[in-house]
């Protein structure tokens, strides 16, 4: 009901303005009314591009995230956003009324609030950190590794190749250990369990996860339809929080691609050998991603 009312009001305002002014003026009113979400979206895309990240990847750098990060609670952060939206709305009202003084005053206030807000929320400081150039290259590397892993998974010809590519991705992302399980869906198949742990340098070795340091955290991706369960471990290192979040997000994207490829391989296996195509209904995947948890102790498991 709320979105419908706002949409009708916005459309009505645009029509009313088009009768009183030029086409450009009528288009300016809805842009000003939606000024905050448009500004937040454009600011996020520009920030990600400058940082070397994908402009369409999710992160925690939006304005409301930064308001919470500087110490405001949800209520106060919402009040700040409401105040900015009110300034945009007053500017749009001044444009509709064609009041030059009010328009100029609201525009000046908006520019001052915008610049002060960028500085207060740390947007300017982000681009002048000592490690800015290095992190920008690391973000690009993460994107390249992710795209390469997804292409290789799409070309994987069997289940074991897909699991090996998952291991390689975790190794490339610097994860200290990974555990992969794949439940059998056919009586002729057997469950698959793989454990890898970084032994020395950057290489992974096959081995159980019986002695996991307590400071390590674990995140698990579970898929009901394919039976794929991937648990990767991570620890505090020299990377920034934004870089660690990007690695976890991209790794989850790779695991999603592996899940899709495993479903495709199983559908291909279900096709009759005579060449007759068996119609298989659309399979919907339901993935659950656990929250990171501190590991006090991991029970002994056999590889």
The answer on 52 and 154 residing in a single domain is: no
pLDDT tens column, 177-236: 788 888 876 666 677 887 777 665 544 444 555 566 676 777 888 888 888 888 877 776
Dist CA 46 CA 257 (whole Å): 27
Dist CA 86 CA 197 (whole Å): 54
Binning pLDDT at 50, 70 and 90, where does residue 276 land? very low
The answer on 238 and 201 residing in a single domain is: yes
Chain mean position to CA 67 = 19
Q: Which of 84, 109, 126 is the last residue of a domain?
A: 126
State which residues form the domain around 92: 2-126
The answer on 63 and 143 residing in a single domain is: no
Q: How many domains does the chain have?
A: 2
- Burial class of residue 38 (count of CB atoms within 10 Å of its CB; 0-12, 13-18, 19+): middle
* Nearest-5° Cα angle at 107, 105 to 112: 95
Question: Residue 253: how many CB atoms within 10 A of its CB?
Answer: 16
Q: State the pLDDT at residue 23.
A: 60
pLDDT tens column, 105-127: 878 888 888 888 888 887 777 66
Q: State the pLDDT at residue 295.
A: 44
pLDDT tens column, 72-96: 888 988 998 998 888 888 888 787 7
In a domain, 302, yes or no: no
Contact by Cβ (8 Å): 245, 224: no
Binning pLDDT at 50, 70 and 90, where does residue 279 land? very low
- Burial class of residue 62 (count of CB atoms within 10 Å of its CB; 0-12, 13-18, 19+): middle
Dist CA 43 CA 132 (whole Å): 18
Tokens of 7: 């949409």
pLDDT tens column, 129-167: 677 788 888 888 888 999 999 999 999 988 888 888 888
DSSP-derived secondary structure letter, 292: P
């Amino acid at each position: 009901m709320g979105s419908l009312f706002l949409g009708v009001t916005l459309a009505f305002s645009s029509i009313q303005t088009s009768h009183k002014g030029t086409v450009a003026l009528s288009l300016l009113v809805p842009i000003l009314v939606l000024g905050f979400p448009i500004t937040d979206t454009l600011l996020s895309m520009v920030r990600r591009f400058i940082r070397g990240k994908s402009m369409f990847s999710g992160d925690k750098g939006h304005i409301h995230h930064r308001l919470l990060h500087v110490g405001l609670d949800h209520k106060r952060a919402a009040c700040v956003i409401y105040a900015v939206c009110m300034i945009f709305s007053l500017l749009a009202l001044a444009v509709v009324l064609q009041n030059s003084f009010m328009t100029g005053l609201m525009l000046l206030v908006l520019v001052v609030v915008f610049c002060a807000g960028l500085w207060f929320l740390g947007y300017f400081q982000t681009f002048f950190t000592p490690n800015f150039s290095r992190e920008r290259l690391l973000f690009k590397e993460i994107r390249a590794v992710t795209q390469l892993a997804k292409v290789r998974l799409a070309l994987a010809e069997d289940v074991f190749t897909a699991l090996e590519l998952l291991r390689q991705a975790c190794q490339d992302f610097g994860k200290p250990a990974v555990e992969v399980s794949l439940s059998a869906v056919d009586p002729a198949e057997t469950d698959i369990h793989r454990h890898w742990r970084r032994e020395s340098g950057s290489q992974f070795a096959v081995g159980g996860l019986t002695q996991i340091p307590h400071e390590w955290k674990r995140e698990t991706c579970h898929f009901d339809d394919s039976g794929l369960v991937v648990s990767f471990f991570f620890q505090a290192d020299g990377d920034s929080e934004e870089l660690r979040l990007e690695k976890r997000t991209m790794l989850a994207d790779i695991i999603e691609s592996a899940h899709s490829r495993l479903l495709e391989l199983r559908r291909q296996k279900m096709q009759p050998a005579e060449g007759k195509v068996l119609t298989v209904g659309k399979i919907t995947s339901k993935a659950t991603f656990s929250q990171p948890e501190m590991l006090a102790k991991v029970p002994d498991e056999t590889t």
